[in-house]
A and B are shown apart, each in its own frame.
Chain A
Amino acid sequence: MMPDLGKYTDTVLTAYAASILLLALLVALSLWRGRRMRIEMEQLEARTRRNG
């Protein structure tokens, strides 16, 4: 299934691995921070409602 990349196998695979890793990190960090902010805001809003 893997195509024959000849003498450039390392070059092509390194480019793909580096790019996919950077994109995955960006998405994961964005989702992690988004989730944290959502939870924190909900907790604060609930506390504000309770305290009037």
Chain B
Amino acid sequence: MSQIEKNSSLWSYANPRKFLATTERVMPFLWGAALVCLVVGLVWGFFFTPDDYRQGSTVKIIYLHVPSALMAINAWMMMLVASLIWLVRRHHVSALAARAAGPVGAVMTLIALVTGAIWGQPMWGTWWAWDPRLTSFLILFLFYLGYMALWAAIDDPDTAADLTAVLCLVGSVFAVLSRYAVNFWNQGLHQGASLSMDAKENVDDVFYLPLLVCIAGFVLLFIALVFYRTGTEIRARRIRALLARERAGA
């Protein structure tokens, strides 16, 4: 492979310096685009959409609940891909990106659980039910907590990356289950998908368009946070290496 091909390949971003230099250039645009999409989507949804004929004004919770639930699952999928790259190619940046995404995914899952409970209380008459989708989301949240705890508990970063990657592979079963739980069991309180490639299942256009803007906002916020936090993890790793070198030289 020529030097030019190497520099333009996706793998060149496995170099921490190149990753930091590139992400720092795009960060202002990512933060800005995320903020604009979130503000526009939430203001549009909250102030300028009507009530649902069955759910009343609680339908406005959809602009937070659906994007956060979507990101809860997709964050784990991103961690899975990054973990596989680590296991196969041993690129440290990919392991650190997976670590960086953990708390972001955990917060997205928590928002989905909290907004779901708040929404469920008036609609179902209960904050919580051991419904397939709710239960699989709770297990996914516990996996996120376990993943973060495992990273924090192991001193050697390569061992931590290996073990968390294995945990990520196991947890991906629950991430997939969270998405398809309603279809698998076809029972419980939770409704089917709000968004689908099949237009018949989608929510009405008046809710759908602001929902798409909110989803774009959550996706952009996730990317911005993961880029920023990966940069932080790269610096933390560099600090660790410099301190070790100092100790060895003393």
Contacts and interface: CB of A to CB of B under 8 A. Distances in A.
Bound pair: A and B?
yes
Interface of B: 42, 46-47, 51, 56-58, 60-61, 64-65, 68, 103-104, 107, 110-111, 114-115, 118-119, 121-122, 221, 225, 228-229, 231-232, 235-236, 238-239, 242-243, 245-246
Interface string A6-47: 111101101110110011011100110110011011001101
A37 B119 contact: no
Contact of B225 (A16, A22, A27, A41): A27
B228 A44 contact: no
B250 to A, nearest CB: 10
Contacts of A25: 107
Contacts of B46: 3, 16
A23 B104 CA distance: 9
A19 to B, nearest CB: 4
A19 B111 contact: yes
B64 A16 contact: yes
A49 B229 CA distance: 26
A6 B51 contact: yes
B231 A12 contact: no
Contacts of B245: 48
A38 to B, nearest CB: 6
A46 B122 CA distance: 59
A41 B104 contact: no
A34 B114 contact: no
Contact of A37 (B65, B104, B236): B236
Given A25-B107, A26-B225, 4 more contacts: A3-B57, A15-B61, A30-B225, A41-B239
Given A8-B57, A34-B231, A48 B246 contact: yes
Nearest to B106: A26
Contacts of A16: 42, 46, 60-61, 64
B145 to A, nearest CB: 15
A6 B104 contact: no
A15 B114 CA distance: 7
